[in-house]
Amino acid sequence: MSRRKSTLALCRHAPYGNTLAREGLEAVLACAAMDQIPDVLFINDGVFQLLEQAPEGLGEKNLRRNLQALPMFGVETLYLCARSLGERGLDPERLSVPGAELKLVQDPGAFIARFDQVLSF
Amino acid sequence: MTLHIVNQSPYSGSALGDCLKAFAAGDALLLIEDGVYGAGAHQPLPEMNIYCLKADAEARGVTVADHIECIDESRWVALCAEHNPIVSWFR
């Protein structure tokens, strides 16, 4: 039997400015619901998805709730690009997602290269 | 005086940098949508006449630096009426 292909979802966009952040998380949840749990790397402006959000003033649904649902679907490790956090003045010690372990990735190039397929959002 | 409006994150595009290169003394800068990521203390901005749309900053969880004034939509309209021309930096 062939080995199951490993999949990485690359989340590169901030929430609310466009729909990519939402679509990325929805794709991850859909994969996980089909028992094909991908790894998820937040990189570039995607790391802003980890911040606490209050989008009521925009009439939008809170995207961080989708992110917080990931552990319930089996996505229990979330990878964060260390350089992206540093460039944006974000302290990884001050970020958390209940039920998920946040792991810093120092070399995203080598990290991404490990996967069979990569979905970019 | 010119009102500059920026809607892109300073980390993913050149809009804010391009705007600041064309920024004259007395001009005003308004950060909206993903532009509000430029309102954190991490980003160097002019000292005076910098505004940020409050709903966009709150939605994204951005902590706005002290010298930036958070405004609502009606104040945005007022700024547009007070300034001429208005330049949108949306790319």
**For B27-47, what is the mean pLDDT?**
93
Report in angstroms the alpha-carbon separations of A47 from A13, A50, A51, A85, B29.
Answer: 8, 6, 8, 7, 25
Mutation target for A interface from B8, B11, B90: give the one with most A CBs within 10 A.
Answer: B11
CB contacts < 8 A (A, B)? 60
Listed in sequence order, the residues at least 6 apart from A99 whose beta carbon sits closer than 8 Å to its beta carbon are A68, A71, A72, A76
> Which CATH architecture does the domain made up of B3-89 adopt?
3-Layer(aba) Sandwich (3.40)
Query: Residue A4: which pLDDT band, with cuts at 50, 70 and 90?
Result: confident
Rounded to an integer, what distance in angstroms lies between the CA atom of residue A118 and that of residue A57? 34
Query: Residue A1: which pLDDT band, with cuts at 50, 70 and 90?
Result: low
In this model, does residue A14 exceed pLDDT 80?
yes
In this model, does residue A28 exceed pLDDT 90?
yes
Average pLDDT, chain A: 94
Mutation target for B interface from A50, A60, A88: give the one with most B CBs within 10 A.
Answer: A88
Query: Residue B53: which pLDDT band, with cuts at 50, 70 and 90?
Result: very high
In this model, does residue B16 exceed pLDDT 60?
yes
Q: Which pair of structure tokens corresponds to residue B15?
A: 């809009």
Q: Which pair of structure tokens corresponds to residue A103?
A: 């792991």
Which chain A residue shows the shortest CA-CA distance from B41? A89
Burial class (CB in 10 A: 0-12, 13-18, 19+), A113: exposed
Q: What's the pLDDT tens digit per position in B77-88?
A: 999 999 999 999
Listed in sequence order, the residues at least 6 apart from A100 whose beta carbon sits closer than 8 Å to its beta carbon are A70, A71, A75, A76, A77, A78
Rounded to the nearest angstrom, the gap between the alpha carbon of residue B25 and the centroid of all alpha carbons in its chain is: 15
**Chain B nearest CA to A110, separation (Å):** 22
* DSSP characters over A54-115: -GGGGT---HHHHHHHGGGGT--EEEEEHHHHHHTT--GGG---TT-EEEEES-HHHHHHT-
Rounded to an integer, what distance in angstroms lies between the CA atom of residue B8 and that of residue B11? 8
Strands, sheet with A101-105, edge to edge from the N-terminal-most edge strand: A101-105, A77-81, A39-42, A7-11, A117-120
Beta carbons of B34 and A45 less than 8 Å apart: yes
pLDDT at A47: 97
Q: What's the pLDDT tens digit per position in A94-115?
A: 999 999 999 999 999 999 999 9
Q: Do A88 and A79 form a contact (C-beta atoms < 8 A)?
A: no
Percent of chain B with pLDDT over 90: 87
Closest to B60 (Cβ–Cβ): which among A16, A56, A87?
A16
In this model, does residue A2 exceed pLDDT 70?
no
> Which CATH architecture does the domain made up of A7-120 adopt?
3-Layer(aba) Sandwich (3.40)
Beta carbons of B33 and A55 less than 8 Å apart: no
**Chain B nearest CA to A16, separation (Å):** 8
